[in-house]
Amino acid sequence: MTGTLFGIGLGPGDPGLITRRAAELIGTVPVIAYPALDGEESFVRSIAADLIPGHVREIAINIPMTVVREPAQAAYDRGSAEIAKALSDGDDVACLCEGDPFLYGSFMYLHARLADRFRIEVVPGVTSLTACAAKAGMPLAARNGQLTVLPGTLPESELERRMDVADSLALLKVGRHLQKLKTVIERLGLLERAIYIERATLAEERICPLADAPESAPYFSMILIQGTPDPWL
């Protein structure tokens, strides 16, 4: 009997936003896997730290911070090989994921490598998207409202083209793209409605109008822009 791979969304960072199913799985599986960036302490492991029993085996997948494909591919190859070994030995493996595994999550690279050979269950988590909206007190969409989710990594022209026709907007992965995003937002006349949120639900959380945002933003930051107000409000 081979084991099951659980891809578990842990939410944006507040351990209270872990689901009951996620907590139960973390407390019972014999092997826990998670990504760690460039040998640093794993952020996602810290979210669930209190739930991880002392005796479990841990697989840290060391992901190089890179914009080129090959070194990242090699890291996921190594990580999935180690997970495959545990699954083949009959052990269930819980892979911890920030936010939700399938919304800009690196779990999909493991999923792509293992789904044809092993049983996989994805446990959805609270996304940073709705966590940021909750903390900012900003409804994302109602009734006929529309929501467009764009990564800040897109080229300026592509961002402008998409944002110009969007209703409500969520711009993720702001980080070093903050000034580019701010330029486009100002040009489209959206600055007054734009809210900046960094490290939502963590102790270091910061929320302010985008106009008052700091010069540089961490990777875990987001800009929300509310669309047409709901006519029913």
Q: How many CB atoms lie within 10 A of CB 165?
A: 8
CA-closest candidate to residue 63, choices 89, 38, 82, 42: 38
- 71 binding its own copies? (CB under 8 A): no
- Provide the β-strand partners of residue 130: none
Residue of the chain from 28, 73, 88, 228 that contacts its own copies (CB under 8 A):
73
Q: Which residues contact 162 (CB under 8 A, 6 or more apart)?
A: 148, 150, 154
Cβ atoms within 10 A of the Cβ of 14, count?
A: 17
Nearer to its own copies, 84 or 126 (CB): 126
102 vs 186 by CB, closer to its own copies: 102
CA dist 7 and 123 (Å) reads 6
Q: Which stretch binds its own copies (CB under 8 A): 53-61, 83-91, 137-145, 211-219?
A: 137-145
142 near its own copies (CB under 8 A): yes
Closest CA to 175 of 128, 214, 224, 221: 221
Cβ 128 to its own copies shortest distance, Å: 9
In the list 38, 41, 49, 165, the residue contacting its own copies (rule: CB under 8 A) is 165
Site residues for its own copies per CB under 8 A: 7, 9, 11-12, 14-21, 23-24, 69, 72-73, 100-105, 108-109, 111-112, 115, 120, 122-127, 130-131, 133-135, 137-151, 153-154, 162, 165, 230-233
